[in-house]
Every structure is written in structure tokens, then in C-alpha cells.
Amino acid sequence: MSRIVFIGAGNVDLTRRVVSDLLLESGLHGELEIVLHDTDPAVLATAEALVRSLDAEAGSAATIIVSLDRRRALDGADFVVSHVDVGGFEATLRDFEIPHRYGLRQTIGDTIGIGGIFRGLRTIPFFVELGRELAELCPQAWLLNCSDPMAMTGWAVQEATGFDRFAGVCHAVCDTHTYLADLVGRGVDEISFLSAGVNHQSFVLRFEAEGRPLYPELDALLAADAELARHVRVEMYRRFGYFPTQSSEHAAEYVPWFLPHAEETTRLGVPVEEYLRRVGQSMHQYEETRRALSAGRSLLVRWQHQEPAAAAILAVLTGQEKEVYVNVRNGGLIGNLPADCCVEVPALVDATGIHPRPVGELPTQLAALNRTFLNVVELTVRAVLDGDRRHVHHAAMLDPNTAATLPLPAIEALCDELIEAHGGLLPEAIRR
């Protein structure tokens, strides 16, 4: 029996999608032990009711265990699927409201930028502690992390704990492949794709069918449709030569050319403070799940494309090879990015585990973009692991959107105000 542990199971939308994929695999009926952990008893109870409902509907005869004790949940795990939001909605709101008063605009705020830096300061310590527990309690388990900021947590876990069976999994690459395939009127399986970079800033390096590139077809479509072309990711594609795998909402805040300029956000339809609306939708989805459970409605998700975390687990358990995009320690997978950073690359997953594929070197301009992104990532990791408050300031000063918007004294004042506002959610050394 395989033990699959969900840390942050109260994120019922993700739990529903991943568990549905697992329970629909008929060859694993009666062979799965699903362990649910969350720190909130109420949301954990909802997650338990959800998973028992999915299990009954799928007829999968899974063993379902619920635990408020994380160490007990992890003991003997084969896979750990994590999705956590340290500080929850109130912390996220501070990450937007305080910068807003300084005139700093954000869209999502979960990866780099001021919001990403402070999410990292809250989240990295959690994952370092989790990595140490995994190394002790289940050293052969795979940690499949679905939490942002993924590039920060992956770097920190492997440096601070030595636990190297970390793989961040994200929708962005496979969603972009599907989007591009739809645009050119082909099935995604008809196209040869290769994408790589860092999480939320990867690029489609190969986009081919029948041995010929499809980028010229994309160019023709964009030239013929002004609305289709009016997006941040298209602006990035036109100037850097490769299509970004991340949505325009995300991509806009990792560079200095969009959010500081109101005319550009208007022209390209950039939804400022979009993440606050998404958090509201997540809260609505949670309540909808509770109502659906009370009404006995079907919640089993039958999608054509599996969740990346589920796809990886199923490939290992069934031995059916699958390509899954993962975020792992670089170690030469991308030759012109730092060895210790966390990169996004394709991996072959089979019965023997997750095997990331070397990509070689990125085009010079893409590596340069990634290195700018990674400056913020590295300094945030160093702030936590070294306990150095100055690196919080350094990360913000080098962040492209923040640096393009605010002078140095305002950046420093903003960081100090956010440190004070988040209080005990941040490491003590940074609060001093």
C-alpha cells in the first residue's frame, strides 16, 4: 500500500483535483493510503468529508487517515503533496495594501516582487522544517510542492536540509502548451514541445510539428488578431523570441516595463491586484465544496489532463512513463544558470522515480532574464537561512518592478513597515 500525505489538505480545490486523479486509476484500487493533514480542524474536517465522498464515488476503496499531528502524518510516507499559505488571507492582504500606499503596483505577488519576497520570508522556514522532518521520518518519499514561491522554497530546502527528493509542480508549462496547441489548431500530443527556465519565468524553446517550427504560424495569428496580440506575454515573446509559459498577470510583475506605467497596464489589460480577487474566488470555492457535500452532489473530477502532482505519483506507482515538468535543483540541468538555484525542466517519471532532463544552455537573453529573477530569489533565501534582515532590503532593491517604481529610501521604509506588520510570521532574526 502506498502512503500519500497531503500537507495543507484544507486547500480543497487542489486536494479534490489531485485525489480525483489518484482514485480514478483502477489499477490502484485498494492500494492507496490517503493521509490528510492541516492545522485547522474545521477545514481538515471538510477535506476529510470531500475525500471520503470522492473515494465512495470512484469505488477505489482507499484507506483514508486524518491527522492534526504533522509528524504522525508524515511517518512512512511515500509521497507528500504540499500546499500551504503561511499567514493566509490577512498576510496576503498586507502584502498588497501596504505597498499600494507607497504607489507600488502588483498583480499576483506570490513569486518575486515585494509580495513574493514576504511570502518567501513566511514560507521558507515552514519548508525547511518540513524538509528536516522528511529527512528523518520518510527519507525515500518525494515531496511534490504546489506552494509558491516555488523557486525560493526549492532552493532553501535542499541547501538547509540536504533533503533532495524535492520537486515543485506547477500548471504553467502544460497549460501554455495546451494554449499554443489550441491556437494553431492541433492536439497537444501532435506537437513537440520543450520549455525551461525558472518557475513562473520559463519559455517555450521548441514548438514543432512534423519536424518544422510552428512559431511562424503563431506569428501569423498574432499579426491577424490585434486583441490576441495585446497581452504582456506576447510583448515578451516579440522582443525575446520565445513564448513565456506564465500568464500575463504573473509575467508583468517580474520585469520593470509594465506595472510602473499606467498607460502600459491599460494598453495590455494588466489586472492590477488580481490576486486579491483570486483569493476571494478560492474562499467561494471552499464554501461551494461544503454546500456540494451537504447536498450529496458529485465532486469527482474527470479531466483529460492530470494534475502534475498526480501525474508524477501515478507514473511511479504504475510504471507507466510520463513527462512531467518539475522544479528541482539545477546542478547543471541548465548550463548558464547557477548550480544551486531551482530550475523548471521536463522530467521522465517512471517506476524508479523522477528523472529531470538536462536542457543545455538557454538563449542568452532568456538566461539574463532568469538571472535577474534569481537575484531576488537568492537574496530572500539568504535573508532566511543567514538570519540577515539587510538581505530583505537587498532583495527588494534588486527586484525589477520595485526598483522601477520606488527610490531606495522608500523601498527600505516599505520593507521595514512590512516586517513590523507581519510580526511573528517572520523569522525572529529578521524582525530584530
Q: What is the pLDDT of residues 357-373, one digit of tens each?
A: 999 999 999 999 999 99
pLDDT at site 280: 84
Cα–Cα distance for residue pair 419/287, rounded to 1 Å: 32
In a domain, residue 400? The reply is: no
Q: What is the pLDDT of residues 285-301, one digit of tens each?
A: 899 999 999 999 999 99
Structural domains in the chain (count)? 1
pLDDT band at 304 (very low <50, low <70, confident <90, very high): low
In a domain, residue 142? The reply is: yes
In a domain, residue 322? The reply is: yes
Cα dihedral angle (164, 6, 18, 170), rounded to 10 degrees?
-40
Cα–Cα distance for residue pair 229/242, rounded to 1 Å: 14
Q: How many Cα neighbours within 13 Å face the side chain of 341?
A: 26
Q: Is 171 assigned a catalytic role?
A: yes
Residue 327: pLDDT above 70? yes
In a domain, residue 44? The reply is: yes
Does a cis peptide bond (omega within 30 degrees of 0) precede residue 256?
A: no
In a domain, residue 23? The reply is: yes
pLDDT at site 419: 98
Choose among 162, 125, 131: nearest CA to 145: 131
In a domain, residue 34? The reply is: yes
Q: What is the pLDDT of residues 202-245, one digit of tens each?
A: 999 999 999 999 999 999 999 999 999 999 999 999 999 999 99
Cα–Cα distance for residue pair 177/188, rounded to 1 Å: 7
Catalytic choice (37, 83, 100, 171): 171
| Beta pairing partners, 142 | 79
In a domain, residue 220? The reply is: no
Residue 306: pLDDT above 90? no
Residue 29 counted as an annotated binding residue: no
Domain that holds residue 125: 2-87+113-170+298-335
Choose among 60, 64, 68: nearest CA to 22: 60
Residue 303: pLDDT above 90? no
Residue 417: pLDDT above 70? yes
Residues of the chain with pLDDT > 70, as a percent, come to 100
Helix (H, G, I), strand (E, B) or coil at 259: coil
Residue 342 counted as an annotated binding residue: no
Residue 264: pLDDT above 70? yes
- Domain containing 25 — which CATH number? 3.90.1820.10
